[in-house]
Amino acid sequence: MGFWMEVLVYYNPNCSKDGKKPLLLGSKGGNMNSAILVCNMDGSNLERLTTDTALITEAIFTLNGDAVYFT
């Protein structure tokens, strides 16, 4: 998780249906690849859901909030 505290760019936020968890896409510097991250609304408990080995442009929670769709 320490690596993601150094991420320079967070973008394209999307909130869970209950409003408790934002999904973020994160990228280091000029890297085109991104990772999906989730945390509490206050920014605590940042958790990486994917690695940063692909270009991810969109991430949303499923309707029941149990999973994440991404492209």
Q: What is the pLDDT of residues 12-66, one digit of tens each?
A: 889 999 999 999 998 877 678 888 999 999 989 989 999 878 888 899 999 988 8
Spell out a b/e string for 8-26, using b for 16 or more CB atoms within 10 Å of the CB, else e.
eebeeebebeeeebbbbbb
Query: Smallest Cα–Cα separation from 38: which of 54, 14, 52, 22?
Result: 22
DSSP secondary structure string for all residues of 2-68 = HHHHT-SEEEEEEE-TTSS-EEEEEE-TT---BEEEE--TTS-S-EE-S-SSB----EEE-TTSS-E
Number of folded domains in the chain?
A: 1
Write down the pTM of the prediction. 0.79
- Residue range(s) defining the domain that contains residue 60: 2-70
